[in-house]
Chains A and B, each alone.
Chain A
Amino acid sequence: SQQGEEDPQALSIQEGENATMNCSYKTSINNLQWYRQNSGRGLVHLILIRSNEREKHSGRLRVTLDTSKKSSSLLITASRAADTASYFCATDAELYSGGGADGLTFGKGTHLIIQP
């Protein structure tokens, strides 16, 4: 079953506005990561937030994590045309107490379009 679900599936905003994307997941996690993907390109790591963290910032990005609701949000402030891309959350399920290379489970992604 799908671990991560994101909404909205598509978001179109004007340049300069803030964009908020949400992600929900089903199982307990060790951490949650956000990635950006330009069409047909590789996944670029944006930010990792651990299960014991509630909020994290990186430049114009702000990520929150609510483990009680099993949800996370990604906020991009002062959006730019170059932010146009698909954004995925990916979770690392709490399957191992230590060691192991757990595969990430990705959500469906939010396609963000920034209009100039």
Chain B
Amino acid sequence: AAGVIQSPRHLIKEKRETATLKCYPIPRHDTVYWYQQGPGQDPQFLISFYEKMQSDKGSIPDRFSAQQFSDYHSELNMSSLELGDSALYFCASSSDGHSGNTIYFGEGSWLTVV
């Protein structure tokens, strides 16, 4: 079965640069979530979208922005990168956006800021 696809899988950027991560949800899933997991840490919720509208907001820095497009894929834009942004970024998707549906995660995108 198709899973959540994230790209790129690995990304190296310098401080103050900009990075964009892409997420393609499972077909027919209309809800996308973004999470950040630092080394040895638990995943932290950043932001979610339901039917192309922002739905819930977590600990997403002001330097980051995200959107969900008409084909339901999502992009996370990160600007003015800092060393502390180095982490594994997960995208997840579910259907209907309603609580109670299983949320499926992608393999993640490794971002290293040097």
What number of residue pairs across chains A and B have CB atoms under 8 A from each other? Answer: 80
B residues adjacent to A (C-beta < 8 A): 31-33, 35, 42-50, 55-56, 58, 88, 90, 92, 94, 97-100, 102-108, 110
B97 touches A101 (CB 8 A): yes
Contact at B56–A103, with CB atoms within 8 Å? yes
Given contacts A42-B107, A99-B98, 15 further A-B contacts (CB under 8 A): A30-B99, A33-B102, A35-B105, A40-B88, A90-B43, A96-B99, A100-B50, A101-B31, A101-B33, A101-B48, A101-B94, A103-B58, A104-B35, A106-B44, A109-B42
Majority secondary structure of chain B interface residues (helix, strand, loop or mixed): strand
Q: Given contacts A30-B99, A41-B108, A42-B108, is CB(A100)–CB(B42) below 8 Å?
A: no
Q: Residues of A at under 8 Å CB distance from B?
A: 4, 30-31, 33, 35, 40-45, 48, 50, 88, 90, 92, 94, 96, 98-109
- Residues of A within 8 Å of B31, CB to CB, are 101
**Which residues of the partner chain B approach A94 to less than 8 Å between Cβ atoms?**
99
A48–B49 CA distance with the chains assembled, in angstroms: 21
